[in-house]
Amino acid sequence: MIDTTELSIDLPDEQSTIAFGGRLAQVCKPPLRIYLSGELGAGKTTLSRGFLRGLGHPGNVKSPTYTLVEPYEFDSVMVFHFDLYRVADPEELAYMGFEDYLMTPAVLLVEWAERGGDWLPQPDLLVHLSLTGGGRNLSLSWGSEEGKQVCRQLIAEA
Protein backbone atom coordinates (compact mmCIF):
# COMPACT_ATOMS: atom_id res chain seq x y z
CA MET A 1 0.00 0.00 0.00
CA ILE A 2 1.13 3.51 -0.77
CA ASP A 3 1.50 5.41 2.46
CA THR A 4 0.09 8.85 3.05
CA THR A 5 1.95 11.84 1.72
CA GLU A 6 4.90 12.77 3.85
CA LEU A 7 6.42 15.55 1.88
CA SER A 8 4.85 18.45 0.03
CA ILE A 9 7.06 20.98 -1.72
CA ASP A 10 6.30 24.13 -3.70
CA LEU A 11 8.20 24.43 -6.95
CA PRO A 12 7.69 28.02 -8.13
CA ASP A 13 9.51 27.67 -11.45
CA GLU A 14 11.07 25.20 -13.88
CA GLN A 15 14.49 25.61 -12.27
CA SER A 16 13.19 24.44 -8.90
CA THR A 17 11.72 21.30 -10.51
CA ILE A 18 15.13 20.56 -12.06
CA ALA A 19 16.87 21.23 -8.74
CA PHE A 20 14.52 18.88 -6.89
CA GLY A 21 15.19 16.16 -9.50
CA GLY A 22 18.89 16.59 -8.80
CA ARG A 23 18.39 16.30 -5.04
CA LEU A 24 16.29 13.19 -5.50
CA ALA A 25 18.97 11.59 -7.67
CA GLN A 26 21.54 12.04 -4.91
CA VAL A 27 19.55 9.99 -2.40
CA CYS A 28 18.26 7.21 -4.68
CA LYS A 29 20.02 3.88 -4.70
CA PRO A 30 19.10 1.15 -7.19
CA PRO A 31 17.01 -0.87 -7.48
CA LEU A 32 14.25 1.71 -7.14
CA ARG A 33 10.97 2.32 -8.99
CA ILE A 34 9.86 5.93 -9.11
CA TYR A 35 6.53 6.76 -10.70
CA LEU A 36 5.90 10.34 -11.76
CA SER A 37 2.24 11.28 -11.88
CA GLY A 38 0.38 14.45 -12.77
CA GLU A 39 -1.51 15.86 -15.73
CA LEU A 40 -0.05 16.75 -19.14
CA GLY A 41 2.58 19.42 -18.65
CA ALA A 42 2.82 18.94 -14.88
CA GLY A 43 6.63 18.72 -15.01
CA LYS A 44 7.38 14.98 -15.01
CA THR A 45 9.95 15.16 -17.81
CA THR A 46 11.46 18.32 -16.33
CA LEU A 47 12.00 16.51 -13.03
CA SER A 48 13.49 13.52 -14.88
CA ARG A 49 15.87 15.90 -16.65
CA GLY A 50 17.00 17.29 -13.30
CA PHE A 51 17.45 13.75 -12.00
CA LEU A 52 19.61 12.70 -14.96
CA ARG A 53 21.61 15.92 -14.97
CA GLY A 54 22.19 15.47 -11.25
CA LEU A 55 23.86 12.17 -12.02
CA GLY A 56 26.02 13.83 -14.66
CA HIS A 57 24.09 13.44 -17.90
CA PRO A 58 25.31 16.36 -19.99
CA GLY A 59 22.89 16.34 -22.90
CA ASN A 60 19.26 16.79 -23.66
CA VAL A 61 16.55 14.65 -22.06
CA LYS A 62 13.51 14.15 -24.23
CA SER A 63 10.52 12.21 -23.12
CA PRO A 64 10.60 8.80 -24.85
CA THR A 65 7.03 9.19 -26.05
CA TYR A 66 7.46 6.93 -29.09
CA THR A 67 10.24 4.60 -27.97
CA LEU A 68 8.57 4.23 -24.52
CA VAL A 69 11.95 3.87 -22.80
CA GLU A 70 15.34 5.57 -22.89
CA PRO A 71 18.35 4.08 -21.07
CA TYR A 72 21.04 6.16 -19.33
CA GLU A 73 24.20 4.57 -18.04
CA PHE A 74 26.33 6.19 -15.34
CA ASP A 75 29.38 4.82 -13.50
CA SER A 76 27.41 3.77 -10.45
CA VAL A 77 23.85 3.46 -11.68
CA MET A 78 21.64 2.62 -14.67
CA VAL A 79 18.52 4.72 -15.15
CA PHE A 80 15.63 3.83 -17.45
CA HIS A 81 13.29 6.69 -18.24
CA PHE A 82 9.84 5.56 -19.40
CA ASP A 83 6.96 7.49 -20.87
CA LEU A 84 3.93 5.20 -21.15
CA TYR A 85 1.54 7.91 -22.37
CA ARG A 86 1.06 6.18 -25.73
CA VAL A 87 0.44 2.75 -24.29
CA ALA A 88 -3.11 1.97 -25.33
CA ASP A 89 -3.21 -1.56 -23.95
CA PRO A 90 -1.14 -2.69 -20.95
CA GLU A 91 -0.32 -5.86 -22.96
CA GLU A 92 2.14 -3.69 -24.92
CA LEU A 93 4.35 -3.75 -21.87
CA ALA A 94 4.74 -7.48 -22.29
CA TYR A 95 5.93 -6.95 -25.87
CA MET A 96 8.52 -4.41 -24.81
CA GLY A 97 9.85 -6.79 -22.15
CA PHE A 98 8.89 -4.58 -19.26
CA GLU A 99 9.35 -7.41 -16.77
CA ASP A 100 13.06 -7.53 -17.59
CA TYR A 101 13.40 -3.87 -16.63
CA LEU A 102 11.69 -4.58 -13.33
CA MET A 103 14.33 -7.16 -12.51
CA THR A 104 17.29 -4.97 -13.50
CA PRO A 105 19.11 -3.34 -10.58
CA ALA A 106 18.42 0.13 -11.93
CA VAL A 107 16.46 3.25 -11.11
CA LEU A 108 13.23 3.33 -13.14
CA LEU A 109 11.65 6.73 -13.72
CA VAL A 110 8.17 6.12 -15.11
CA GLU A 111 5.89 8.81 -16.53
CA TRP A 112 2.24 7.80 -17.03
CA ALA A 113 2.64 4.57 -15.08
CA GLU A 114 -1.15 4.38 -14.79
CA ARG A 115 -1.29 3.42 -18.50
CA GLY A 116 0.37 0.14 -17.55
CA GLY A 117 -2.60 -0.88 -15.41
CA ASP A 118 -2.00 -4.00 -13.36
CA TRP A 119 1.16 -4.71 -15.30
CA LEU A 120 3.11 -2.36 -13.11
CA PRO A 121 3.85 -3.19 -9.50
CA GLN A 122 3.57 -0.65 -6.73
CA PRO A 123 6.33 1.99 -6.90
CA ASP A 124 8.91 2.46 -4.18
CA LEU A 125 8.32 6.17 -4.53
CA LEU A 126 5.41 8.08 -6.02
CA VAL A 127 6.06 11.68 -7.04
CA HIS A 128 2.92 13.62 -7.80
CA LEU A 129 3.05 17.02 -9.49
CA SER A 130 0.12 19.40 -9.68
CA LEU A 131 -0.34 22.83 -11.20
CA THR A 132 -0.64 25.74 -8.77
CA GLY A 133 -1.04 29.15 -10.37
CA GLY A 134 2.15 29.57 -12.39
CA GLY A 135 4.17 26.97 -10.51
CA ARG A 136 3.85 23.40 -9.31
CA ASN A 137 3.31 21.55 -6.07
CA LEU A 138 5.09 18.26 -5.54
CA SER A 139 3.99 15.58 -3.12
CA LEU A 140 5.88 12.43 -2.29
CA SER A 141 4.61 9.16 -0.97
CA TRP A 142 6.17 5.74 -0.70
CA GLY A 143 5.24 2.14 -1.30
CA SER A 144 8.23 0.37 0.27
CA GLU A 145 10.80 0.67 3.02
CA GLU A 146 13.37 1.81 0.42
CA GLY A 147 11.04 4.58 -0.75
CA LYS A 148 10.42 5.63 2.84
CA GLN A 149 14.16 5.95 3.42
CA VAL A 150 14.47 8.22 0.38
CA CYS A 151 11.69 10.45 1.74
CA ARG A 152 13.35 10.51 5.17
CA GLN A 153 16.63 11.64 3.67
CA LEU A 154 14.94 14.38 1.67
CA ILE A 155 13.13 15.59 4.78
CA ALA A 156 16.36 15.54 6.79
CA GLU A 157 18.03 17.70 4.17
CA ALA A 158 15.17 20.14 3.74
Measured CA to CA in angstroms, residue 90 lies from 34, 93, 108, 122 at distances of 18, 6, 17, 15
38 binds, among ligand ATP, Mg ion, none (CB under 5 to 8 A by kind): ligand ATP
Q: Rank residues 15 and 26 by Cβ distance to ligand ATP and give the closer one.
A: 15
User: What is the footprint of ligand ATP within residues 108-137 (CB under 6 A)?
Assistant: 111, 134-136
Pick from 17, 80, 113, 150 the residue near ligand ATP by CB under 6 A.
Answer: 17
Measured CA to CA in angstroms, residue 151 lies from 4, 68, 84, 96, 134 at distances of 12, 27, 25, 31, 26
Cα separation, 69 vs 110, whole angstroms? 9
To the nearest whole angstrom, how small is the minimum distance from the Cβ of residue 97 to ligand ATP?
A: 22
To the nearest whole angstrom, how small is the minimum distance from the Cβ of residue 18 to Mg ion?
A: 14
Q: SS3 string of 54-103?
A: HCCCCCCCCCCCCCCEEEEECCCCEEEEEECCCCCCCCHHHHCCHHHHHH
Q: Mask 107-126, x = binds Mg ion (CB under 5 A)?
A: ----x---------------
Q: Is residue 13 part of the contact set for ligand ATP (CB under 6 A)?
A: yes
Question: Residues in the site for ligand ATP, rule: CB under 6 A?
Answer: 11, 13-14, 16-17, 38, 40-46, 63, 111, 134-136
